[in-house]
Structure 1
């Protein structure tokens, strides 16, 4: 059987042929890349004085927050920070009275 360059139905004939693809840009495996990226992200957050806080929200409340953040063109995290800052400042002002 003759091997033709455009014939891709007989894959066994082309198994050893290198196909062009995306070049490898990082020498580390994907799992290690993710760990390195996460470590760098935590380092950047620490330098900015940010601390991680986790909370659980109802799905509808989360959807509302996402819509508000999109409307203001900010991230959900920035929106939550604004809301908490606003609440804390109003609480402080009412306590001082």
Structure 2
């Protein structure tokens, strides 16, 4: 049987051929790359004096925060930080 490039039914004949595309530039798999990048991000944040805080809020509150952040042209994280600072300052007085 002849091997035809356009023949998809004999795809097993093309397993060894190199396909055009983006060359592999990293020896690690994508999941390992994500873990390495996350570890590096945590180190950067720690060096910048940042600490991770995670909490759950109701969807309606989340939407309000998102809308206010877009209005003020800041990230949601920056908005929450500003609101917390403002609230703590009011309680300290």
TM-score above 0.5: yes
What is the TM-score normalised by the length of structure 1?
0.80
Measured at CA, do residues 12 and 30 of structure 1 come closer, stay the same or move farther in structure 2, by a change above 3 Å?
Answer: closer
Unmatched runs of 5 consecutive residues or more in structure 2: none
Q: Deviations along 1:49-95, whole A, 9 cap, x unmatched?
A: 111111110011011111111222211110000100111111122xx
1:80 aligns with 2:73: no
SS of the residue corresponding to residue 36 of structure 2 reads helix
- Quick check: 13-22 or 69-78, which moved more? 13-22
Displacement of 1:9 in angstroms is 3.3
Displacement of 1:34 in angstroms is 1.7
What is the TM-score normalised by the length of structure 2?
0.83
Displacement of 1:8 in angstroms is 4.0
Measured at CA, do residues 79 and 8 of structure 1 come closer, stay the same or move farther in structure 2, by a change above 3 Å?
Answer: farther
Q: Alignment length, in residue pairs?
A: 92
Unmatched runs of 5 consecutive residues or more in structure 1: none
